[in-house]
Amino acid sequence: MVDTATLVVDGKEITLEVSSPSEGQDVINVASLVNEGLFTFDPGFLSTASCESTLTYIDGDQGKLLHRGYSIEQLAEKSNYMELCYLLLRGELPAQSELANFIAAVEKETVVHEQLVDICSTFPPGSHPMGMLGTLVSAMSAFYHDGLDINDPDQRMQVAIRLLAQIPICAAIVFRHHMQKERVDLRPGLSYADQFYHLMFSESNDSEVDPILSKALDQIFLLHADHEQNASTSTVRLVGSTDANPYGCIAAGIAALWGPSHGGANEGVLKMIAEIGDESRIPQYIKKAKDRDDPFRIMGFGHRVYKNFDPRAACVRATCNDVLDRLGIKDDPILEIAKTLAKIAREDEYFIERRLYPNVDFYSGVILRALGIPQDYFTVIFAVGRTAGWIAQWHEMVSDGYKIGRPRQKYTGPRQRDYVAIDQRS
């Protein structure tokens, strides 16, 4: 293992420390370069590790995703979202009593302020659900700001538990408002996913919860729980590094997730399939995707980090089939288009060469549509799951100590020049 690297600039040798992580690539510490009058330049952070973290490891070439060392495949098969939340926040899998206490603490925080419901009711019809969710989460700061000490680990854990408890409820309030449906009451004793399913879909307070469908939701939450330093998590950390109110930090993460290159891709998948409309039109869209002068991309294909396969996509594919079977959905034209696109990804040189595979959002979009969730609401489901990662990463950052995030730039504007009076400008 090398432990230093030498950079030669204008003949001057600069020694940089190289350290090894517990898994993955060695890391060159460039923090001292500023003392040499140099910055590094890495748009999109392709080669930049922005922090140390013990939560999640991704090996994009091998399609590997680990949370605290446990593979996503094992967690998806044997665990559930609540247990993963505990693992991410506390570092180890819980004993039975620890998990029971954690779930009880989450249940205790499920009462949201009625004013949040009032705020939601003021949104005009057609408002985007991600905008509404971000607003409600940001508004939570109004109720939990004064006296909040983010340097107190117990208070941080309380924030984490409250967000895990209340974000799904806010999401369900947004859903009911969006669908113009009456709300139902919380039903004590239901599991996390059953409660969410009930709040979203039940026609009455005592409607049955379908276990296959609520399990599918639990798995979608679990598969989306954390994904190291993606755009929204980096946003949460960056905003958190200013000591901002944590509800505001998570609201910022929700805004970052909204975009179609990130969490908005699952909505984009269904929009794109609807636009394609018919299998006969697929070749023309594939041609568009390959055309460098056309910004069109096949939504749900490709990933910044996974360059072989997305392990979450492999887990969710089986669930996708269970849900479609359970709902008796067959010969759906949308599904047929999705299947053909997935087949093309495996066979077409363009996608093979660039290592573009269907990602988790490709399949989760299909499941959510089958559940009857409107496509502009899909990213809200992603946000509910990702809450675990956002708050665990924020908690880790504050626990470990941090500097305010402040990237520099390569300035390419005009050099210094003199101001010209308006009547003398040519």
Which residues are at the interface with ligand CMC (CB under 6 A)? Answer: 227, 230, 261-263, 265, 289, 292, 297-304, 354, 356, 359, 361
Backbone φ and ψ for 393, nearest 5 degrees, come out as -70, -40
d(CA 66, CA 53): 12
Q: Is 112 helix (H, G, I), strand (E, B) or coil?
A: coil
Q: Output the six-digit token pair for 365.
A: 């979009």
Is 303 noted as a catalytic residue in this protein? yes
Q: In this complex, which beta carbon is closest to ligand CMC, that of residue 165 or of residue 269?
A: 269
Q: In this complex, which beta carbon is closest to ligand CMC, that of residue 246 or of residue 302?
A: 302
Q: In this complex, which beta carbon is closest to ligand CMC, that of residue 192 or of residue 301?
A: 301
Is 262 noted as a catalytic residue in this protein? yes
Q: In this complex, which beta carbon is closest to ligand CMC, that of residue 107 or of residue 348?
A: 348
Q: Output the six-digit token pair for 230.
A: 């993606």
Is 361 noted as a catalytic residue in this protein? yes
Angle between helices 192-201 and 153-179 (to 10 degrees): 30
Q: Output the six-digit token pair for 338.
A: 């999705």
- Of the listed 194, 226, 310, 361, which one is catalytic? 361
Q: In this complex, which beta carbon is closest to ligand CMC, that of residue 227 or of residue 237?
A: 227
Angle between helices 81-90 and 378-400 (to 10 degrees): 20
- Of the listed 224, 262, 310, 395, which one is catalytic? 262
Q: Give counts: helices (H), strands (E), the chain.
A: 17, 6
* Sequence-separated (6 or more) residues with CB below 8 Å from residue 396: 53, 54, 55
- Of the listed 178, 303, 310, 395, which one is catalytic? 303
The sheet carrying 12-19 orders its strands as 4-9, 12-19, 27-28
d(CA 376, CA 365): 10
User: How far from the centroid of its chain's Cα atoms is residue 252's Cα?
Assistant: 12
d(CA 389, CA 398): 14
Q: Output the six-digit token pair for 307.
A: 């360059």
Q: In this complex, which beta carbon is closest to ligand CMC, that of residue 338 or of residue 398?
A: 338
- Shortest CA distance to 224 belongs to which of 253, 188, 190? 253
Least separation in angstroms between CB 231 and ligand CMC? 7
d(CA 107, CA 84): 16
Cα-Cα-Cα-Cα dihedral sign, residues 172, 174, 177, 178 = negative
The tokens 């030498």 sit on which residue? Answer: 6
- Shortest CA distance to 381 belongs to which of 185, 162, 170? 170
Q: In this complex, which beta carbon is closest to ligand CMC, that of residue 160 or of residue 289?
A: 289
Q: In degrees, to the nearest 5, what angle opens at C-alpha 88 toward C-alphas 85 and 91?
A: 125
Q: In this complex, which beta carbon is closest to ligand CMC, that of residue 238 or of residue 298?
A: 298
Least separation in angstroms between CB 401 and ligand CMC? 28
Percent of the chain that is helix, strand, coil (3-state, to 5): 55, 5, 40
Q: State which residue has the least CB distance to ligand CMC.
A: 302
Contact between 312 and 357 (Cβ < 8 Å) = no
Q: Which residues are catalytic?
A: 262, 303, 361
